[in-house]
Amino acid sequence: HPLRVLVIGAALRKGSTNIRLASLVARLINDTGATADLAPLYDFDMPLYNGDVEEAHGLPPGALALCERLRSSDAFVIASPEYNASVPGVLKNAIDWVSRIRPQPFKTKHALLVSASPSMAGGNRGLWVLRVPLEHLGTRVYPDMFSLAKAHEGFTESGDLADPGLQKRLTDTVRGFLSLVEADTRYGCLQRR
Ligand code: FNR
């Protein structure tokens, strides 16, 4: 079957530039013949992690749904803003809830990290911080990352990147990532879903 890739847009606001970037990455994935599953975090309602809530009610439906979508994917992409040079609380909270589920669904999956920000650094510092919990959970985080600077003026109306050089770099990054996932799931030690 074609590779299936979950593309998480790690923001709650509807006009999020990171969800726009996630939509573009999903389209670039579909263009290769693989199947993208777009997952903006506002679709996964969950409270702040609280051990008492977990003990009394188990996992919230939003965390279970996100876990299911991860499990039915061969790999995932996260498009995340940078908040104070770090990971937004809403994304860290979702990772924390989902990490409680067994078998733990982040383990051995490949992930590509991308970001968008109005700043010149494009949110890249936040992605370095995001590597820490993911690598702790056993995710194979792709070495290359993509950060879109000046994201508020970075997109065309059709949702492509306004700078053709950046559009090519993003396309090449996505394709490189998919080649690695394909090679590893077909010939490597990873089990396919
Ligand atoms: C930000 N923003 C921000 N940007 C950045 O490049 N580096 C940073 O450290 C921060 N810190 C930060 C903290 C908080 C609390 C907020 C609300 C915002 C700005 C951020 O990049 C901007 O709001 C983006 O537009 C957020 O991404 P979305 O919502 O467009 O996807």
- pLDDT value of position 1: 85
Q: Could you tell me if residue 169 is inside a domain?
A: yes
Residue 82 belongs to domain spanning: 4-187
User: Tell me, what amino acid is at 72?
Assistant: S
Q: Could you tell me if residue 183 is inside a domain?
A: yes
Q: Could you tell me if residue 153 is inside a domain?
A: yes
- What is the whole-number distance in angstroms between the Cα of residue 21 and the centre of ligand 1? 14
What span, in angstroms and rounded, lies between the C-alpha atoms of 45 and 59?
A: 11
Q: Could you tell me if residue 13 is inside a domain?
A: yes
Rounded average pLDDT per 10-residue block, the chain, 193 residues: 96 97 98 98 97 98 98 98 98 98 96 98 98 98 98 98 98 98 81 56
- pLDDT value of position 185: 87
Q: Could you tell me if residue 26 is inside a domain?
A: yes
The pTM of this model reads 0.97
Candidates 16, 17, 117, 148: which one to mutate for ligand 1, based on the most atoms within 8 Å of Cβ?
Answer: 117
- What is the whole-number distance in angstroms between the Cα of residue 117 and the centre of ligand 1? 6
What span, in angstroms and rounded, lies between the C-alpha atoms of 19 and 121?
A: 18
Give the DSSP per-residue string, 97-124: HHTTSSS-TTTT-EEEEEEE-SSSSTTH
- What is the whole-number distance in angstroms between the Cα of residue 72 and the centre of ligand 1? 30
Q: Could you tell me if residue 117 is inside a domain?
A: yes
For residue 11 and ligand 1, the question of a CB distance below 6 A is answered with: yes
ipTM for the complex? 0.99
For residue 16 and ligand 1, the question of a CB distance below 6 A is answered with: yes
Total number of domains constituting the chain: 1
* Sign for the pseudo-dihedral over CA of 89, 95, 98, 100: negative
pLDDT tens by residue, 100-112:
999 999 999 999 9
**CATH at residue 82:** 3.40.50.360
pLDDT tens by residue, 41-84:
999 999 999 999 999 999 999 999 999 999 999 999 999 999 99
Atom nearest to 17 CA in ligand 1: 30
Q: Could you tell me if residue 182 is inside a domain?
A: yes
- pLDDT value of position 188: 75
Q: Could you tell me if residue 193 is inside a domain?
A: no
